């Protein structure tokens, strides 16, 4: 199936997933000189319940912290959004070295990694899978990660990665506040895009925070020690799981700040 190697990576995803060549694909290259300040955009408002996260899972193409989204306990509101979006999961993308690995880029700058905090429109749709089929179904907060200082809230996540080395493994993971990974400034850019992995559904209101967070080189190296192979298969390290920027086509990026 699809992955991030030459034979099954982003350059060939269109063979199985025609949306790969769609007109609202993600990620994109953000050019700060071409964004438009929108005075009608509001500050982001989120309220996360520490007990929403339940398990951390190696899904083969990343690791994700899966949350209990059976009720509105952890939600994202305001910003560019109409209504309330419920927290579903959070995960990271990274590269083979600290020199690149983010999915969104800013003025040609690639960051070492990128955090995605995934929410779905629980006011309009009954569940994540339905919402993921709708143009306003998902809201994903993207946080750029640059190599630098050790990140202590992130260390809580990194400490369990050795227990979920192989694809399909999972372990309990709770009492965690996803906003502990956010930078101090909630300034953001926003645009309409897609999932950045197959099925590449064009259902995402992207909210990319301007201020990166940091992680140490050692912390970033731990991401790359995860395996995309299952237990008993020949070991294959997940060295990179970032999709390159996609054509902007007929889209504008709006800024909350100016």
Ligand X SMILES: CC(C)NC[C@H](O)COc1ccc(S(N)(=O)=O)cc1
**Of residues 9 and 199, the one with the C-beta less far from ligand X:** 199
Q: How far is the CB of 243 from Zn ion (least distance, A)?
A: 9
Q: How far is the CB of 28 from ligand X (least distance, A)?
A: 12
Query: β-strands 138-147, 113-121: how paired?
Result: antiparallel
Q: Is 86 in the site for Zn ion (CB under 5 A)?
A: no
Q: Which does 90 bind (CB under 5 to 8 A by kind): ligand X, Zn ion, none?
A: none
Q: How far is the CB of 231 from Zn ion (least distance, A)?
A: 24
Q: How far is CA 250 from CA 11, 191, 211, in A?
A: 22, 11, 26
Report the C-alpha gap between 64 and 205 in whole angstroms: 20
Q: How far is the CB of 39 from Zn ion (least distance, A)?
A: 30
Q: How far is the CB of 33 from Zn ion (least distance, A)?
A: 26
Q: How far is CA 256 from CA 2, 19, 48, 78, 177, in A?
A: 35, 29, 22, 12, 24
Q: Which does 129 bind (CB under 5 to 8 A by kind): Zn ion, ligand X, none?
A: ligand X
**Selected range binding Zn ion among 66-74, 94-102, 105-113, 115-123, rule: CB under 5 A:** 115-123
**Selected range binding Zn ion among 108-116, 165-173, 201-209, 220-228, rule: CB under 5 A:** 108-116
Q: Which residue lies nearest Zn ion, judged by its C-beta? A: 116
Q: What is the dihedral of CA 157, 209, 29, 24, to 10 degrees?
A: 90
Q: How far is CA 163 from CA 29, 172, 221, 237, 248, in A?
A: 35, 10, 16, 15, 39
Q: Are 228 and 61 in contact (CB under 8 A)?
A: yes
Interface residues with ligand X (CB under 6 A) are 116, 118, 129, 132, 140, 195-197, 199, 201
């Amino acid at each position: 199936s699809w992955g991030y190697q030459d034979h099954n990576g982003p350059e060939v995803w269109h063979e199985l997933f025609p949306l790969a060549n769609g007109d609202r694909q993600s990620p994109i290259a953000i050019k700060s000189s071409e964004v438009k300040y929108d005075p009608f955009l509001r500050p982001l408002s989120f309220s996360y319940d520490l007990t929403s996260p339940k398990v951390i899972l190696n899904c083969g193409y990343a690791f994700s912290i899966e949350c209990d989204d059976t009720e509105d306990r952890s939600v994202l509101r305001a910003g560019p959004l109409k209504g309330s979006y419920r927290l579903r999961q959070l995960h990271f993308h990274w590269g083979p070295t600290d020199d690149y690995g983010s999915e969104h880029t800013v003025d040609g700058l690639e960051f070492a990694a990128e955090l995605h905090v995934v929410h779905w429109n629980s006011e309009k749709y009954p569940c994540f899978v339905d919402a993921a089929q709708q143009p306003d179904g998902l809201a994903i907060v993207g946080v750029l990660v640059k190599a630098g200082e050790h990140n202590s809230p992130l260390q809580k996540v990194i400490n369990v990665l050795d227990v979920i080395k192989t694809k399909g493994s999972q372990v309990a993971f709770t009492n965690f506040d996803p906003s502990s990974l956010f930078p101090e400034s909630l300034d953001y850019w926003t645009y309409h895009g897609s999932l950045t992995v197959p099925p590449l559904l064009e259902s995402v209101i992207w909210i990319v925070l301007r201020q990166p967070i940091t992680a140490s080189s050692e912390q970033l190296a731990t991401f790359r020690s995860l395996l995309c192979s299952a237990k008993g298969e020949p070991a294959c390290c997940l060295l990179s799981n970032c999709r390159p920027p996609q054509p902007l086509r007929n889209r504008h990026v709006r800024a909350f700040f100016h």
